[in-house]
Every structure is written in structure tokens, then in C-alpha cells.
Amino acid sequence: MVDDAEVERRYRKSSKESPSVQLDRLILDMAKHELGRRKYRATKRMGLFATAATLVLSIGLVTFMEREVPEEVVITAKGPAVLVEEPAEEKSEQSFDRMPAPLANADRALKKQQAPVSAEAEVATMDRAFGSEALSRELLAEAPDRASPPQSRAPSMARARAAVETGISAQALRRQLNSELVSTHKKVFRYNDVWQALEYTDEDPKNSKNVILLYSQRSTPKTAKHKGEEGDNLWNREHVWPKSHGFPKKNQSAYTDLHHLRPSDRHINSDRRDWDFDEGGKSYNRCQCKRKKVDKNSGSFEPPHQVKGDIARMLFYMDVRYEGEDESKTPDLVLSDRLTQAGDVSIGKLCVLLRWHRNDPPDSVEKRRNQRIKELQGNRNPFIDDPNLASQLWGRQCSQ
């Protein structure tokens, strides 16, 4: 008779596979590369402003020298420009290729001016181009779109680089947001306690005995829960990111994450099923909504206008909060621009949501809700606090 220990022993004896040497090498290389990348980024951050300022001043210098401006004017800009070692003309060619978008703008602005530029005017131009907000936006998001080439020889390489840089920045931003959301997510609710939490987060501002239901926007007594009793006007807990799309079990954090849970009319909740959000379909009489059935397993739902942005931001939060890398027992949730179905770890449609988000910015009730969830759960929905984040993460994907 083979006992348990013997089964384990025999299994261990036969289970000998290990990763290939190439795979070992690849992973150690990845680890090494990551350290290098971090060092580089740290240096880059430190040097970014210094480098940028130097570059603009050198460009200024080059412009002046090309126009043979009187020497004393050059001197005012000369201090930092001493760093330029190459001959002026060559530098001018190269600087176009290396220039990040704000530099290109500054350069264009300088080139437009025909008269010799005073030092103050130059500083003003730099300020315009280098307001820290302008700089970070350009680098983070829409740089390639806004930075049209200054001249025809202009730099397709620079555009390509800017595009790569944007992709990397979006990744970095996502990582930063995720790590913030994970570390501040202090409390994971039991599903049974979600009822009470929603009574607080979704309380009707005009009547503290009621909650506002998501799709119908109806004010309903907190006590009218669809919990054990039957009736038509009862509310229950809607998972805006359907639980069948990645977290079917109650012990998975996303299942009880307040940010995407909303009180909902029981019938609308069940009629929305686990469908994607999209526009169009047949009118649906329980709310200002539309529904479109595609096939047995999929379809879409269009909520009323006043909650479209709310829904988009809840789903943005879910995508960034759950990356499958922490102890939330939830896989990496990913927004999709296509229709999905039960069992997929994603929900759609991303680009429609992005549009809804832009057209329906956060209002005071949504902001209050965010604050109240922060009190209960610890973390905030960053897309409500800073609506610009969404296009920084997904803008490019949806620009076509």
C-alpha cells in the first residue's frame, strides 16, 4: 500500500524539470536591466530641468549667432551656453532631432521673431515653453500630436522618439497610480458589510434616509433592500465591473471594492447582466437607457447621460487598481475596446468610456462619494480627483 508520504516522495523523485539556461539568463538580465533603468531615470529626473534650460539657451545663442547680433546681446545669454562645444550650425541641425516638444515650441517661437531678442523676451519665451505644467503634460501625454514639425526636414525620428517616450510615461504613470492605490487600500470589506457602506457613500444629499440608485437615479429608502424580501422597488448591489469578468469569488478584493459598487434597482441590475458599456440599442423603459443584445453571451448597455462619466471613472479605477500583482486575489483587469463576455478578465468599451468621461466630468455628488469611500476603504479614485489622467493613460489608444 502506498501511503501519502510515499506518493509525495515518488512525485518529488520524478519531478525534476527546471527552467532552461536561456530562460535563467533572460530573467537575470531583466533584473539587471531594471536596476540600470531606475538609475537612469533617477539621473534623468535630476538633470531634466538643467538640461532643458541649457538646451533652450544654446538654441537662443545659435539663433543670435546666425543673425550676427551685436556681441553684448549674446553675452547676456552666454553663461550656461558655454557648455556648447560643437560648432554652432551643426548643433542647430542636431538639436531639432533631440528636442522634446516644449523645446521645439520654444525654438519655433524664437525663430518667428525677426528682431533681435532682448534677454527679458527670451526669458519670457522660456517661461511660456517651460511652465512646469506644460512640460509634464507634453512629456506625459499628447506631445506627438501637438508638436507639429517646425520645418519640413523636421524630425520624424523625434516624433517616433516622443511616441515611445509617451508609451513609457503611460506605463510609468500606471505603475505609480497602481502602487498608490494598492498601498492606500487599507480595508477590504466583507460582502455583507457592503450594504451599510453603500448607505453612506450613496446617500441622497437631500434625504438622509434614502440612497440614490445608479441607473434610474431614483431616490429610494435605505431600508428597501432586496435582501430576503420580495417586491418591485427594492435595491441591491450592482458590480459596475461585472464580477463574472475576473473576480467571481467573494474573497477577491475587487468583489467588494466600493469604488465600483453602486446601489441599483434590482430589475435594472439584472437586466444589465454582465454586458459591456456602449452606445445604441433599443430603449429600455426602467431608466433612460438602451440595450443591445449581440448574441447569447454578449451585448451592450447604454446608461443615462448623467452617469456615463461616473461609470467610466469607476472602470478606469478598476483597470489601474487591479494589476494581478498584489494580494487582492484579483487578476489583472484590463479595459477592452471590444465587446467581451463572461469569463473574460476585461470589460468594454474603452474608447466609448473615454468619451463619456470627457463629456460628463465629476460633479459634487461623485466627489463626495470619492471622499466617503476614502474614509471607509482608504484609497481614492484618482480619475475623479484629476480627470486629465485618463487621456494620459489611454488617449493614444483611442485617438484613431
Partner 1 sequence: MEHSDEDLYFRYHRSGDLQAFNQLYERYKGALYRFILRMIGNSATAEEVFQEVWASLIKSNQYRQGPGSFKTFVYTIARNKAIDHYRRNRIQLVSDAYVQEEQIEESEWDGADQAQAITKAVEALPAEQKEVFLLKVEAEMSLEEIAQMGGESREAIKSRYRYAVAKIRKWVSEENNDG
11 lies in the binding site for partner 1 (CB under 8 A): yes
Answer whether 366's CB lies under 8 Å from 380's CB: no
Compare residues 16 and 206 and give the one whose CB is closer to partner 1.
Answer: 16
The β-bridge partners of 261 are 239
| Piece of the chain touching partner 1 by CB under 8 A; list 115-123, 151-159, 318-326, 353-361 | 318-326
Cβ closest to partner 1, residue 127 vs residue 332: 332
Q: How far is the CB of 323 from partner 1 (least distance, A)?
A: 8
- Determine if 18 is a binding residue for partner 1 (CB under 8 A): yes
Question: What length does the chain have?
Answer: 400
Angle at 23 between CA 20 and CA 27, to 5 degrees: 145
Q: Based on the shown chain and the rule CB under 8 A, indicate whether residue 205 belongs to the binding site for partner 1.
A: no
Query: Strands, E, within the chain: which ranges?
Result: 203-204, 207-212, 219-221, 235-239, 261-265, 276-277, 282-284, 289-295, 298-302, 334-335, 346-347
Question: CB of 317: closest distance to partner 1 in angstroms?
Answer: 18
Considering the rule CB under 8 A, would residue 285 count as an interface residue with partner 1?
A: no
CA 314 – CA 325 distance, rounded (Å) = 20
Closer of 145 and 180 to partner 1 (Cβ): 180
Q: Does 28 bind partner 1 (CB under 8 A)?
A: yes
Piece of 5-13, 206-214, 227-235, 369-377 that binds partner 1 (CB under 8 A) = 5-13
Output the smallest distance, CB 35 to partner 1, in A: 5
Listed as own residue / partner, the contacts of 123-126 with beta carbons closer than 8 Å and 24 or more positions apart are 126/53, 126/56
Number of chain residues interacting with partner 1 (CB under 8 A): 45
Piece of the chain touching partner 1 by CB under 8 A; list 84-92, 124-132, 178-186, 256-264: 178-186
Mark the segment that binds partner 1 (CB under 8 A) among 80-88, 113-121, 291-299, 327-335: 327-335
- Least distance in angstroms from the C-beta of 243 to partner 1: 14
Binding to partner 1 by CB under 8 A, coded x per residue (else -) over 31-60, reads: xx-xx--xx---------------------
- Adjacent-strand bridge partners of 302: 290
Whole-angstrom Cα distance, residue 400 to residue 393? 15
Decide if 57 contacts 81 (C-beta within 8 A): yes
Contact predicate 345/245, CB 8 Å:
yes
Cα distance from N-terminal residue to C-terminal residue, the chain: 67
Stretch that binds partner 1, among 83-91, 301-309, 337-345, 367-375 (CB under 8 A): 337-345
CA distances from 317 to 178, 312, 335 (A): 9, 9, 10
**Which DSSP state fits 254?**
G
Stretch that binds partner 1, among 24-32, 95-103, 127-135, 231-239 (CB under 8 A): 24-32
State the Cα–Cα distance between residues 118 and 243, nearest whole angstrom.
63
Of 338-357, which residues contact partner 1 (CB under 8 A)? Answer: 343-345
Q: How far is the CB of 12 from partner 1 (least distance, A)?
A: 7
Binding residues among 83-142 for partner 1 as defined by CB under 8 A: none
Q: What is the DSSP string of 57-93?
A: HHHHHHHHHHTT--HHHHHHTHHHHTT--S-HHHHHH
Q: Using CB under 8 A as the criterion, which residues of the chain lie in contact with partner 1 when the complex forms? A: 2, 4, 7-8, 10-15, 17-20, 23-24, 26-28, 30-32, 34-35, 38-39, 175, 178-179, 182-183, 249, 251, 323-327, 329-332, 343-345
